Structure 1
């Protein structure tokens, strides 16, 4: 039994920790912030609604990263402030490195590019948001200068380069608190949309293991940081099913973390059904139980399918302590073919966010900056205006756990 004096001392100590965290920051792994974020359920709740800064730091020209190469303006603090004001608490920053990586054996990242990555990350981090940084386009065969190719015969060189690049990124961010999340890769696969092949999947597993080991060994807050890894093409079936995905071990993490805390998250993307969410055609423009025209609605991938997919991730990973992040989801704008399309895009976004919430997962909407036909954009990045308030409202409704009625007009 604890004495009254002991209780008073405990309360006093808790107050001191809180004050210390606010005065001295939260970069020390023993801070109150780290303790508060120790559970997977807490980090998922803290991340709230997420948004992707797509087609910017992963954009490239002639094999070199260039944030304006794909038609978007230079990222500013004002843009991130606009996203934050809309209610988003997490920003995922896709990043390509490509030709900014120097030759071996050091594979040094161009300092100006690494500085810019940090500057953009700070736009969100310094506003109290969660920030996710990944390696995005380096594994796409369609990108000039890509090198993280799982079916390449040059695996020894690839793995050495991958390790050196992540070592530099991890060192740059190792003193950031747990609101900074690192993600190993993006949609890594052999480029063929079929079942996973071996040994390509084995190489993907090796990349994840190198990533975890490398980040942890840099020390600072990285030995307790939440790390995000993915299976084959971030596909739910090929990650949760018996296709070859293996969870990386985490032998170098801080011994202060309880054994029950994994500190590894699993990333998947959700664009099902693709003929509604991503196919550039005016054929399928409606989705969900509120759809009014069967001929414009996909025969598969409706709400029951969404629930079964996220439940599969919950059963396979979340129940074992590995939180799930739907790092990308959304549907392109087909309103030029069907004036009601945006309400179904909103229904889709609400359903993904709400179903993920049901299964304890976080969601990060894919915004590629496009605000016209086939765009995913919620904001005009030049005028800094909201272009899809109805979809934003739907996301916030879903994340908030409010079962808003489907099929409401955009802006409702």
Structure 2
């Protein structure tokens, strides 16, 4: 998910790098941490997205301030940690910072900044997820990871080289760093998945797993996060073409009975409550007081069925799941009770995910006020929605 203030859904070396990672990338307390499926989900706790920052861009050039957010600081990450979050997902775009073929070298200054922001969280003992975020959106200038493009050979070569460089940069980081293959990859049409687009997404996932593993170091046993079509639960769990990648190059130190691959899904259902930018549907859940302000679908029973499907298809087979994004936009300008239902929604997503063995990461787009998803003011480094944070922590507690 990428968004500006009023747009939620869209507008959105190796050796030297490995030395850099080894010098600065050892976790202060747990350099050899190895977590199994149940442990990684429990340890990740409540997660938070640093949305609209390192994936932001202008005319194809990534910039953390391009979409109106301030420069990321250690103080912000410390505030997020102090609020109780244990995982931070950092969406990242590369776009025109990728050089020409055949090396596709990523701009060194950009990699340095990515690593610095990762370290803000990693050196505080938090779990950190890094991904390739905006490069697959047709609406983003400079996007190239397009699954229905004709030139798949070039796309796959570029994708492999970028992840090779990123993985080498972080090879010395322990299991608190999770790498995520891509974000909401699909053909841009919100309908049934198509071929060969889905097959190309599967191929990207396989390239990602193989490439990261082959860079060595802790990448041999690192948890890797992959996704199906648009991180959609139905299109990932159902018979629409998703194929789990093989993991033939993982480290022999990983017990044969364990996996090191996680499944990413996003949850914004019902969309008319969670994302639609009008004041019509402002309430959610069994505590709703006004039927005309509540969606006719997507309530607690639907949420339960969705996450149960993820459990049945993946978690039960040893592949933990991550709800990498969830949340609902602020419509309190239209209904003064809206934030109460936003909190109810967040609590329900977190508690239901916990029930079915999945971790959760709230989508914070950095904006507060109408249609915002912010939990913090990134300029003043203050909490703006303690009620939603309390609901997240309450849902996790049980």
**Counterpart among 200, 204, 227 of residue 203 in structure 1:** 200
Matches within 5 A, 1:373-392: 373-392=370-389
Change (3 A) 1:340 1:23: closer
Matches within 5 A, 1:163-178: 163-178=160-175
Kindly indicate whether residue 306 of structure 2 is the aligned counterpart of residue 309 of structure 1: yes
Q: Which residue of 2 is the match for residue 93 of structure 1?
A: 90
Q: Which residue of 2 is the match for residue 182 of structure 1?
A: 179
Matches within 5 A, 1:321-400: 321-400=318-397
**TM-score normalised to structure 2 length:** 0.93
Kindly indicate whether residue 54 of structure 2 is the aligned counterpart of residue 80 of structure 1: no
**Which one has the largest radius of gyration?**
1
Matches within 5 A, 1:116-127: 116-127=113-124
> Which whole-Å CA distance do the structure 2 matches of 1:153 and 1:292 have between them?
51
Q: Which residue of 2 is the match for residue 286 of structure 1?
A: 283
Q: Which residue of 1 is the match for residue 237 of structure 2?
A: 240
Q: Which residue of 1 is the match for residue 156 of structure 2?
A: 159
Poorly superposed stretches of 4+, deviation over 4 Å: 22-25
**Counterpart among 259, 265, 268 of residue 256 in structure 2:** 259
> Which whole-Å CA distance do the structure 2 matches of 1:370 and 1:197 have between them?
34
Q: Which residue of 1 is the match for residue 22 of structure 2?
A: none
Change (3 A) 1:297 1:25: closer
**Counterpart among 210, 219, 222 of residue 219 in structure 2:** 222
**TM-score normalised to structure 1 length:** 0.90
- Cα offset, 1:25, TM superposition: 5.1
Listed as ranges, the gaps of 5+ residues in structure 2 are: 1-25
- Cα offset, 1:26, TM superposition: 3.7
Kindly indicate whether residue 44 of structure 2 is the aligned counterpart of residue 47 of structure 1: yes
Q: Secondary structure at the match of 1:91?
A: strand
Kindly indicate whether residue 128 of structure 2 is the aligned counterpart of residue 131 of structure 1: yes
> Which whole-Å CA distance do the structure 1 matches of 2:187 and 2:356 have between them?
30
**Counterpart among 134, 137, 154 of residue 140 in structure 1:** 137
- Cα offset, 1:400, TM superposition: 1.2
Matches within 5 A, 1:11-26: 26=30
- Cα offset, 1:24, TM superposition: 8.0
- Cα offset, 1:396, TM superposition: 0.1
Q: Is the 8 A contact 2:266 2:323 kept in 1?
A: yes
> Which whole-Å CA distance do the structure 1 matches of 2:396 and 2:118 have between them?
23
Q: Identify which of structures 1 and 2 has the higher relative contact order when contacts are C-alpha pairs closer than 8 Å and 6+ apart.
A: 2
